Each structure stands twice: as structure tokens, then as C-alpha cells.
């Protein structure tokens, strides 16, 4: 943290090649008095709209500013009139995809002690943030680069520490916060071929050598928070169990299984690619894509998966309240937990991308009486330095 800074500026942008299409955001923080760039980030989002990418750029900028100068006055500059007017309170937020992002941005703002203002600027003046977003889309950068003081020697390993430590031990009005570090399993033979791979009723492949190497990198990345981790919770599916064993051994944490965090069952689609299902069973895939209540190939629907995932979350929040828990799971359960944390509709799952061996962090606090739980997203789809997967569009 740089406590001597009095005023900082965040510049942010986001873009989508297709709207929606391949998307990324760029953000930077600089000293308002000297113009020195203190931190910058360019990161891909998978498939998203321009507006979602712009909001994610704002959130990234606010997050970096909170790390560097939480007490300084802050000016946010963006060329998105929509985001600037909505965050200034002048325009209503009508689109469902925007509301949870605006809530997350407001949470970061209200945690600051300094003032926060929003300024619209012409696109031609926002070239730095725009460049960061395009470099991410072109595979030239991913994640945060720190340029300030002690932070310049930190990499993404400390970033994950900060995201977890930010809520560890903190007590909200409703009680202590429970933090979940969500880890997707490493690659399998079906992952490489982009084939449907479900839960316990599926072919249940194990990790490849590449998948094990991916998970070892994640385990090393998480090692600095080992003392804070209460337990590693694993889906009982083979690829997650194998991943969780690597993580638990590296962290020195106990390992337990939770069936509720298993992957969606894809029924007769298991082992097939999307193209194969589309060619062989076009009616089935059309019905599945058009409804959250239709199961693929006789398997589970998104609604059914949501119910068991949230039931499992309830059990975890009860048994590990106020602790940090590593949950090793799959695409659908992790995206379900993230959507629940930010109060997004379940259909938001279709707008998220999640890489193998990626890390996301969400936190939950239970209100007095235990009838309502509030969540927040701290980190999404991050990977350890050197993993490289987010830089290769062929792996998305």
C-alpha cells in the first residue's frame, strides 16, 4: 500500500470483438500529481458484451486502487458514457447483466475513505486502457503488472493472497465472512478435445500429465495462504479428487468430499463434442440451449445442478463459518457459485468462461438469524504466472 498518495486516477476500458464476442478489459492506476503509472492490467473475459467488459475494467481499476491507495481521493476516467452515468447515479441500471457488476463496483467504492468521482472522456483520450484490453485479446498480456514500490516485486501469487486476506477474519454486521477459493480441476483427455465430461455417471477420466502439472502450479501459487486454509473440499469425481489431493498435500490441509460440487451430468452426450451433438441430436441441443430446466441427453438441468450446488454451499457455510476453504470443482458448479455470490441470474452462466486449473474467489456472510446470505466476488478465472492458458485462444 502506498499511504502517501493523496489523489489517484483510474482509467478503464473494455471491448468485445463481436458484441457479444471475445472480450477483454484494460485498466490502470496512476498518481494524479505526477502521472506515474502505478499498476496496469489487461485480462480476457471469454465471450461477453462491450458493456460487461467496460464494467469489468472499472472493477479491475477499483481493485488495484484499493491495493495501492485505499485512503486517497479517486477519479475514474472512462469513455463509456453508460458506465460513467450509471455509476454517478444519473442513469438507471436496467440490464440484468449490469446490476451485479455495478453492485461490486459500488462495494469497492464504499470501502474507500477518500472521495470517488467519475469523469467521461473521449475515446481518443483513453488509449492506454484500450491498448491493455487489445493486448489481452491478442494474447500479449494477462493479469496485473505492478509498478509501484514494494508492489513492483509482487506477482499474481500475492494478488491471490490479497484477495483472500481481504476478507479473512473480518466480521461484517452479520458475522464472520467465509471465503471460498474455487479451483477448477486440471486438464483431462476429454478437456483437450473439448468433449462433454460430466460427473460420477460419466466416463470419469483422470488428469493427464499436463493436468497434473497445471494443478501443481496452482498449489504452489496458493501455498502462501496455506495457514489460512481450514480445509480442501473436493467434488468426488475422479479428476477433481486427483486435483484436490495435489492441492491438499501442498497446503498441508485436510481433504473432504462434497458430492454437491460434482459436475453436471450430461447423460448420453457424455464424451461427445458440441459439434457431434449438434449434428446427431439437433432437437436436443436446441431445447437445452433454450432452457435452464432441460437436461442434456437425459442428464441434469442447470436448475437441478443449481439446487444441489447451493445445498452444498449451505452445508459448507454452516460447518466452516468464518474460515477460508479451497473448493476443487468443475465449470458448472463454480460458475453457479459465482453467479449466486453476485446475485446474477442463472442464465449468466452462459456469459462466463472458465479455464482449466483456474482460481476464483468468492466470500459470503450470513445475516443475523441465518435466513439470508450475502456474497461478493473477489477474483475470477485467474491463473498462476507461467500457466499460459489464458494467452492461448485455442484453449478457451
Which pLDDT value is given to residue 310? 95
Our count of domains for the chain comes to 2
Strand pairing partners for 364? Answer: 178, 375
Q: What is the pTM of this model?
A: 0.58
Examine the pLDDT at 170 and tell me if it is beyond 50.
Answer: no
Coil, strand or helix at 347: helix
Q: Which of 153, 170, 195 is the last residue of a domain?
A: 153
Together in a domain, 145 and 171: no
> Is beta strand 21-31 parallel, antiparallel or unpaired with respect to 7-17?
antiparallel
Q: Based on the domain organization, do 322 and 389 belong to the same domain?
A: yes
Tell me the average pLDDT across 243-256: 96
- Asked whether 235 and 333 are in contact (CB, 8 A), the reply is yes
Task: Taking residues 41-53, report their average pLDDT.
Answer: 89
Query: How far does Cα 313 stand from its chain's mean position?
Result: 17
Between 302-319 and 331-341, two packed helices, what is the crossing angle to 10 degrees? 70
Domain that holds residue 201: 162-395
- Please check whether residues 166 and 149 belong to one and the same domain: no
What values do phi and psi take at 352, rounded to 5? -110, 145
340 located within any domain: yes
C-beta of residue 294 within 8 angstroms of C-beta of residue 149? no
Check whether residue 182 and residue 81 sit in a common domain.
no
Note the pLDDT tens digit of each residue in 294-322: 888 888 999 999 999 999 999 999 999 88
Residue 308, in any domain of the structure: yes
Task: Give the CATH number, domain containing residue 102.
Answer: 3.30.420.10
Indicate if the pLDDT at residue 368 is higher than 80.
no
Report the distance separating Cα 211 and Cα 207, nearest Å: 5
- Which of 276, 332, 293, 341 shows the shortest CA–CA distance to 313? 341
Angle at 89 between CA 85 and CA 93, to 5 degrees: 75
* Grid cell 501455498 in the structure block, residue: 223
Residue finishing a domain among 107, 131, 153 = 153
Do 32 and 181 reside in the same domain of the chain? no
**Where among 91, 124, 153 does a domain terminate?**
153
Q: Sort 268 into a burial class: Cβ within 10 Å, 0-12 / 13-18 / 19+.
A: middle
Mean pLDDT of 9-38: 93
Q: Mind listing the pLDDT tens digit for each residue in 113-142?
A: 889 999 999 999 999 999 999 998 888 887
* Residues belonging to the active site: 185, 263
Do 203 and 116 fall into the same domain?
no
Amino acid at each position: 500500500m502506498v499511504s502517501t498518495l493523496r489523489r489517484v486516477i483510474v482509467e478503464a476500458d473494455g471491448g468485445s470483438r463481436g458484441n457479444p464476442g471475445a472480450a477483454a478489459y484494460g485498466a490502470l492506476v496512476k498518481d494524479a500529481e505526477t502521472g506515474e503509472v502505478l499498476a496496469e492490467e489487461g485480462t480476457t473475459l471469454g465471450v461477453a458484451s462491450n458493456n460487461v467488459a467496460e464494467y469489468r475494467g472499472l472493477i479491475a481499476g477499483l481493485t488495484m486502487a484499493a491495493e495501492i491507495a485505499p485512503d486517497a481521493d479517486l477519479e475514474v476516467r472512462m469513455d463509456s458514457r453508460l458506465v460513467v452515468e450509471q455509476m454517478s447515479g444519473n442513469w438507471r441500471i436496467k440490464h440484468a447483466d449490469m446490476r451485479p457488476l455495478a453492485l461490486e463496483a459500488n462495494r469497492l467504492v464504499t470501502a474507500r475513505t477518500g472521495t470517488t468521482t467519475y469523469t467521461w472522456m473521449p475515446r481518443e483520450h483513453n488509449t492506454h486502457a484500450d491498448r491493455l484490453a487489445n493486448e489481452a485479446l491478442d494474447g500479449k498480456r494477462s493479469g496485473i503488472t505492478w509498478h509501484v514500490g514494494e508492489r513492483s516485486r509482487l506477482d499474481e501469487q500475492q494478488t491471490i493472497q490479497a484477495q483472500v486476506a481481504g476478507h479473512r477474519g473480518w466480521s461484517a454486521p452479520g458475522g464472520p465472512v467465509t471465503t471460498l477459493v474455487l479451483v477448477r480441476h486440471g486438464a483431462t483427455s476429454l478437456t483437450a478435445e473439448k468433449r462433454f465430461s460430466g460427473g460420477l455417471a460419466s466416463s470419469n477420466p483422470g488428469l493427464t500429465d499436463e493436468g497434473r502439472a497445471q494443478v501443481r502450479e496452482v498449489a504452489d501459487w496458493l501455498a502462501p495462504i496455506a495457514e489460512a486454509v481450514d480445509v480442501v473440499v473436493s467434488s468426488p469425481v475422479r479428476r477433481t479428487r486427483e486435483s484436490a489431493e495435489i492441492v491438499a498435500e501442498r497446503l498441508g490441509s485436510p481433504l473432504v468430499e462434497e458430492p454437491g460440487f460434482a459436475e453436471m451430468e450430461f447423460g448420453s452426450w457424455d464424451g461427445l463434442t458440441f459439434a457431434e451433438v449438434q449434428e446427431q441430436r439437433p432437437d436436443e441441443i436446441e431445447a437445452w440451449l433454450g432452457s435452464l430446466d432441460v437436461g442434456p441427453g437425459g442428464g441434469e438441468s442447470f436448475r437441478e445442478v443449481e439446487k444441489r450446488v447451493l445445498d452444498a454451499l449451505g452445508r459448507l457455510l454452516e460447518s466452516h463459518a468464518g474460515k477460508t476453504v479451497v473448493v476443487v470443482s468443475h465449470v458448472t458448479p463454480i460458475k453457479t457459485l459465482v453467479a449466486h455470490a453476485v446475485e446474477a441470474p442463472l442464465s449468466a452462466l452462459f456469459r462466463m468462461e472458465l479455464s482449466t486449473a483456474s482460481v476464483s474467489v468468492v466470500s459470503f456472510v450470513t445475516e443475523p438469524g441465518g435466513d439470508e446470505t450475502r456474497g461478493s466476488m473477489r477474483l475470477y478465472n485467474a491463473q498462476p504466472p507461467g500457466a499460459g492458458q489464458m494467452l492461448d485462444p485455442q484453449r478457451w
